[in-house]
Amino acid sequence: MKKLNIILSTTFIIAFYLSSMVLLSCKEKEPEIIDKPIVDKPTFKEPVNPPIAPTMGFFLNEWQAKTYVAPAYTETVITTTAPTTIITVDASNVLTKIPLTIFGHNANNWMTRMYNEPIFIKHLTNLKPNIIRWPAGSGSDCHFWNCNQDQPPADAPTRLKKADGTYQTSGLYTYGKTANSWQGTLDDYYSVLQQTKSQGIITVNYGYARYGTSANPVATAAHLAADWVRYDNGRTKYWEVGNECYADWEWGYRIDTDANKDGQPELLTGGLYAKHFVVFADSMKKAAAEIGKTIYIGAVVQESATSSWQPTITKTWNSTMIPGTNNVPDFYIGHNYITPYNENSTASTVLNSALTVPTTMMNFMKNEITANGGTLKPIAFTEWNMWAKDSKQQVSNTSGTFAVIIQGEALKNNFGLSARWDLYNGWDSGNDHGLFSTGDAAEGVAKWTPRPSFYYMYYFQKCIGDRMVGSTSTGTDLVRAYASTYTSGQGNITLVNTSGAAQTIQVKFTNFHLGTRFYWYSLEGSNDNGDFSRKVLVNGSGPTGVAGGPSDYATLKAKSALTVNGIRVTLQPWSAVFLLVDKL
């Protein structure tokens, strides 16, 4: 029995020893399992807002975090076509906050009374332009905001000198208190701003400082502008002194020296405009201070490298104007009609111009400002559109993709404000910049019918977030991407096809908590008028007539699919896709 007990004890000790070794072995390996890094887990970078670009400046003062709303949708099977391009969005690479002022438009004083046009007001409210310019264009330099119809100031001449030295004697001026039903009054304009929850940017009459016949026309014109500031009473923050004053088509560029009483030269120069600008700014700022309001006043810059055919005054405008203002302007102003002048441009030319000109323009303006002793300040792109004509380019689906590119490039290049020319114009066989139809019989659609550009700009504004972020692409360079995020964490990417062939795009996100679902609106032309279709189809839904888009655009459902299978969409020729992505 003793021997048996010894054997059992020995067996127990050995078993206990082996068990202990196993446990000890497990404890020794446990830290190795816990501490071992997971090598395939990506490093997540949090987004950081960059410093505000000086060319945006105070235009970002009213920046707002945008509320993300997942749209109603129709479940859709994504394409299985192999992608021609892979675009990767880096949600941590914030390029800029997105100012509300980038989506602006120009109104004008021949587009009816506006405020009492319910169809127009409905569409404009949906569009959310945020900024509407007035009275806009060259008409600004012959506009008297406080005068009744055909009752200009006593010192306004009865003829104005044109660029060629001849005179115009009729139809010289427009009036803020017009009695014409086809023109809007100043108060009509203010009503449109109020109804559409927009702000204004007002262009005061600089030309009057040149052609006015009083003893001191500069002071008289500056006083008129200051009185407008008082009447406005803080409704408008942004003001421009003159339109394209460097150009010979502008009233005031050339004056009748026999009628002038303060010794001004016949031809305007940048240096003379600068002296006058300082007088305007002083009067207008004093008026704003009297009523306890803050305003910002912009000066006109020649925005592009000049050509040999242009007059010397245009060529020397910046080099004399910028130092002459001594940094008094709060911002600088540029206009550009992007495509080759009066050319029957192809769709490719139209879109490639949109891709390159805003960058060239911004670089040129910045260089001109600093090279001529100025301080870099906010830059406003207060008129843009295209010169392309004679194939209905301006009223086409391709004009819509053009519009998205201009707004996207304006953001990428840090413009503080951009405003499309214009809301309403004239049919002219399709050479019409208007965003809405005038109802001309030759056009074949009802008045206030939105043109294709409206739909592209509506969905761009609807889907874009509040911060633009960077993206990279591999594959073809025929698709341009504009990516953004919402403060709440969701994502957006707008894809524009600049080619006449379909493109399939795969979208990937980094530094982003990808959700389970994405949504998209696909906009494309129809089979009329070649590359310049007058129709736009939104997710396959189009107009009932010969032009325009779907009447139910504001309630039309997005397409949607789960992200687990990847984010992949196909863009038809000259088209765009506006895509939203949920967060986890």
What DSSP character marks residue 254? B
Residue 23 has pLDDT above 50, yes or no: no
Q: Which fold has domain 100-463?
A: TIM Barrel (3.20.20)
Residue 7 has pLDDT above 60, yes or no: no
Residue 141 has pLDDT above 70, yes or no: yes
Distance CA 563, CA 546 (A): 37
Q: pLDDT band at 42, cuts 50/70/90?
A: low
What DSSP character marks residue 142? G
Residue 325 has pLDDT above 90, yes or no: yes
Rounded to an integer, the average pLDDT of 196-214 is 98
Within 10 A of 87 (CB to CB), how many other CB atoms are there? 22
pTM of the entire predicted model: 0.92
Distance CA 444, CA 463 (A): 31
Distance, C-alpha 424 to centroid of its chain: 18
Task: Give the 3-state secondary structure of 331-350.
Answer: EEEEEECCCCCCCCCCHHHH
In three-state secondary structure terms, 520 is: strand
pLDDT, residue 33, reads: 32
Rounded to an integer, the average pLDDT of 472-500 is 97
In three-state secondary structure terms, 30 is: helix
Classify the C-alpha dihedral 47-498-425-153 as positive or negative. Answer: positive
Shared fold status for 57-97+467-583 and 100-463? no
Q: pLDDT band at 503, cuts 50/70/90?
A: very high
pLDDT, residue 499, reads: 98
Q: pLDDT band at 440, cuts 50/70/90?
A: very high
Rounded to an integer, the average pLDDT of 397-404 is 98
pLDDT, residue 246, reads: 97
The residues spanned by each domain of the chain are: 57-97+467-583, 100-463
Q: Name the nearest CA neighbour of 299 among 374, 411, 210.
A: 374
Q: Which fold has domain 57-97+467-583?
A: Immunoglobulin-like (2.60.40)
pLDDT, residue 136, reads: 84
List C-alpha distances in Å: 101 to 60, 107, 417, 466: 8, 15, 5, 12
pLDDT, residue 2, reads: 39
Residue 68 has pLDDT above 80, yes or no: yes
Burial class (CB in 10 A: 0-12, 13-18, 19+), 444: middle
Rounded to an integer, the average pLDDT of 541-569 is 98
Rounded to an integer, the average pLDDT of 476-489 is 97
Q: Name the nearest CA neighbour of 345 among 378, 372, 385.
A: 385
Distance, C-alpha 462 to centroid of its chain: 13
Q: How confident is the prediction for the chain on average, in pLDDT?
A: 93
For residue 74, which phi and psi values (nearest 5 degrees)? Answer: -115, 125
Q: pLDDT band at 53, cuts 50/70/90?
A: very high
Q: Name the nearest CA neighbour of 546 among 433, 446, 453, 444.
A: 444
Distance CA 299, CA 71 (A): 42
Rounded to an integer, the average pLDDT of 476-499 is 97
User: What Rg do the C-alpha atoms of the chain give, in angstroms?
Assistant: 30
Residue 247 has pLDDT above 80, yes or no: yes
Residue 12 has pLDDT above 90, yes or no: no
Residue 21 has pLDDT above 90, yes or no: no
pLDDT > 70: percent of the chain = 93
Structure tokens at 39: 């090598």
Rounded to an integer, the average pLDDT of 425-454 is 98
